[in-house]
Amino acid sequence: MTTTSTTPLRQDALDHLDEVAVPRYDRSTVTRGIVHFGVGGFHRAHQAMYLDRLMNDGKALDWGICGVGVLPHDRRIVETLTRQDGLYTLVVKHPDGHREPRVVGSVVEALLAPDDPQLVVDRLADPATRIVSLTITEGGYLVNQVTGEFDPSDENIQHDLQADAVPRTVFGFVVAGLAARRAAGTTPFTVMSCDNLPGNGDVARAMITAFARLKDPGLADWMDEHVHFPNCMVDRITPVTAPDDIARLAEEFGVDDEWPVVCEPFTQWVLEDHFTDGRPPFEDAGVQLVEDVVPYELMKLRLLNASHQALTYLGYLAGYRYAHEVCQDPLFVDFLLGYMEREGSPTLPEVPGVDLDAYRHELIARFANPEVRDTLARLCAESSDRIPKWLVPVITHNLEHGGEIERSALVVASWARYAEGTDEQGEPIEVVDRLKERVMAAASEQHDDPLAFLRDRDLFGDLVDDERFTTAYTRALDDLHEHGARATLEARASASSGASAASESSKASDTGGPGEG
């Protein structure tokens, strides 16, 4: 469909939006119950969507979201949401090209912390706030990758550790809010991490409490006793909104939304039911409430997230620019399934109620959705926060248990090759990483020292000392340099096929042939 006029997305315009689903509840009755740090695309495609789903059923109207941006680049989203009365459009992209837009109304306020830090602390201290949730990225928890301990070296953290400092960081705000509640005798809020980390709640507890212990040991003791940090697993592919997404929403549905969110149809949220001061009835919106989220979390991190890393560098080097292009190529699909079946899955505990084979193939179908158009550049970004948490544990487990590591070694080598900053056609690669200079410097040395990239123990631990891994890694890196990504995969696929045929021939010879004896 094509519309001839558009309506700017505002509260007073909802009655005029005939082509999209809009909130069925009276938003003037929605009150704040959650403060969320990091109001990016994923939060708006996931947690905020679940709450809007509940509100449409007349539930959780006292659990509206106050979204908070802490970093300078958050200004645009905060100002956009404010202009649009907290409203935005969530556009679900189906593989057949069908787009399903829905206006989400669960965000009732958006604040930029640097503009009014005290207002943010006041929101956190308010007894109405019962959950503080986080999507601050994997690197936002400041975990030292070698020791697993809190790394307080960031200059803004150092500022926030000073007595009476006006907070600048998420940690500073959360702890200031808890300190105010403790002083007032108010029940503490639950801290709910929604980031892609193993044991994300446990990590949030350890790091935020470590920060508090440096600032106020007594407060840290109180937090240990009273504040809950549930673990959860969150899953929905949410690519960066493109200008075409904004234009098509206006042209096809008549909605003038400055920053809609696009996502795949699939969504999953598995959440531990450990809350300090109540929670919305999440289960009524399709959230799985469990006692132990770890098996689900590891499944997602080591299959979905690690597979994203397995396809992204090799795919980019081979000339692809979107995830769906890679996952419509049988050569890459075979490699991804091989990684998931032979290397990722053997490291997992039992996942209750999940058919892992079906899950693996569903992942390929999700990655191959041509409408999502998830860029490889997005998946390649911030690798130093991703590979150590998603893939290195798989490698370590398989080395300890005699499992396969060849495909994982190739993935690490493909990151090392990508970090050199030029593709196979000699075109520049824009490496996006908080450790960009460090990883690119290491990559630049690997022609003279093939293990230069692996020597960063903050990222790879002791893998550089393991001969089985370094042998597989250097062979993979040599192949990528000499033959390129596609030829490297083709050679490995051919070798694997030949080995399988030889094995079957040997079995037939040993047993007298199929159908005999």
The CATH number given to whatever domain includes residue 98 is 3.40.50.720
State residue 486's pLDDT score.
98
Report the Cα 32 to chain-centroid distance in Å: 26
- Whether 240 and 318 map to the same domain: the answer is no
261 plus 314 within the same structural domain? no
With a CB cutoff of 8 Å and minimum separation 6, the contacts of 217 are none
Please state the three-class secondary structure of 254-317 as a single string. CEECCCCEEECCCCEEEEECCCCCCCCCHHHHCCEEECCCHHHHHHHHHHHHHHHHHHHHHHHH
Phi and psi at residue 352, in whole multiples of 5°?
Answer: -55, 130
CA neighbor of 227 nearest in space, from 241, 245, 211:
211
Is residue 1 a part of any domain in this protein? Answer: no
Cα distances (Å, whole numbers) of residue 71 to 83, 101, 330 = 19, 29, 41
Same domain, yes or no: 197 and 48 = yes
Residues 352 and 251 in one domain: no
The pLDDT value given to residue 1: 55
The verdict on 194 and 286 lying in the same domain is yes
Residue 72 confidence (pLDDT)? 93
DSSP 388-441: HHHTHHHHHHHHHTT---HHHHHHHHHHHHHTTSB-TTS-B-----TTHHHHHH
pLDDT digits (tens, 9 = 90+) for 23-38: 999 999 999 999 999 9
Same domain membership, residue 307 and residue 266: no
Q: Quick one: 19 and 57 in the same domain?
A: yes
Shared domain for 168 and 236, answered yes or no, is yes
Tell me the C-alpha distance between 126 and 480, whole Å.
56
Asked whether residue 85 is domain-assigned, the answer is yes
505, pLDDT greater than 60: no
Q: Is 511 within the bounds of a domain?
A: no
Residue 372 resides in a domain: yes
Whether the pLDDT of residue 498 is over 80: the answer is no
Amino acid at 508: A
What's the pLDDT score for residue 29? 98
- Are 268 and 372 in the same domain? no
Task: Specify whether the CB–CB gap between 67 and 109 falls below 8 A.
Answer: yes
End residue of a domain, out of 290, 314, 330: 290
- Give the mean pLDDT of the chain: 94
Cα gap 349→271, rounded to integer Å: 18
Q: What is the DSSP code (8-state) at residue 28?
A: G
Which burial class, exposed, middle or buried, applies to 402 when counting CB atoms under 10 A from its CB (0-12, 13-18, 19+)?
A: exposed
**What is the structure's pLDDT at 21?**
97
* Per-residue pLDDT at 27: 98
Taking Cα atoms as reference points, which of 272, 276, 275, 274 lies closest to residue 288? Answer: 272
d(Cα 21, Cα 44) in Å, to the nearest integer?
16
Query: Which are the contacts of 15, defined by CB distance < 8 A and separation ≥ 6?
Result: none
In a domain, 510, yes or no: no
Number of structural domains in the chain: 2
Q: Is 90 exceeded by the pLDDT of residue 497?
A: no
pLDDT band at 507 (very low <50, low <70, confident <90, very high): very low
E strand residue ranges, 15-165:
32-37, 64-69, 88-93, 99-104, 107-112, 131-134
**Domain of residue 405, CATH code:** 1.10.1040.10
pLDDT higher than threshold 70 for residue 187: yes
**Which of 377-386, 410-419, 487-496, 504-513 is predicted with the least confidence, judged by mean pLDDT?**
504-513
Q: Which of 230, 263, 290 is the last residue of a domain?
A: 290
Instruction: Grade residue 147 by pLDDT with cuts at 50, 70 and 90.
Output: confident
Helix and strand element counts for the chain (H, E): 22, 13
Assigned domain for 374 exists: yes
Maximum pairwise Cα distance, the chain: 84
Residue with tokens 């009365």: 85
Residues 314-338: pLDDT tens digits?
999 999 999 999 999 999 999 999 9
What is the rounded distance in angstroms from the CA atom of residue 364 to the CA atom of residue 262? 19
451 and 473 housed in the same domain: yes
Mean pLDDT, residues 104-108 taken together: 98
Give yes or no: residues 310 and 265 share one domain.
no
Cβ neighbours of residue 81 closer than 8 Å, sequence gap 6 or more: 39, 67, 87, 88, 107, 110, 259
User: Is residue 79 exposed (0-12), middle (13-18) or buried (19+ Cβ within 10 Å)?
Assistant: middle
Is there a contact between 68 and 37 (Cβ–Cβ < 8 Å)?
Answer: yes
Could you say which of 290, 319, 345 is where a domain stops? 290
What is the DSSP-derived secondary structure letter of residue 176?
A: H
* Model confidence band, residue 162 (pLDDT cutoffs 50, 70, 90): very high
pLDDT at residue number 508 = 46
The 10s digit of each residue's pLDDT in 428-470 is 999 999 999 999 999 999 999 999 999 999 999 999 999 999 9
Over residues 208-264, the pLDDT tens digits come to: 999 999 999 999 999 999 999 999 999 999 999 999 999 999 999 999 999 999 999
Is 516 among the domain residues?
Answer: no
Asked if residue 233 and residue 322 are part of one domain, the reply reads no
What own/partner pairs with CB < 8 Å and gap ≥ 24 does 145-154 have? Answer: 145/388, 145/458, 145/459, 145/461, 146/457, 146/458, 146/461, 149/210, 150/206, 150/207, 150/210, 150/211, 152/210, 152/211, 152/214
Alpha carbon distance 40, 52 (integer Å): 16
Range of the domain at 469: 294-496
Whose CA is closest to 302, among 331, 340, 342, 270? 340
Q: Give residue-wise pLDDT tens across range 269-280.
A: 999 999 999 999
CB atoms within 10 A of CB 479: 19
**321 within a domain of the structure (yes/no):** yes
Separation CA 360–CA 373 (nearest Å): 20
pTM of the model: 0.89
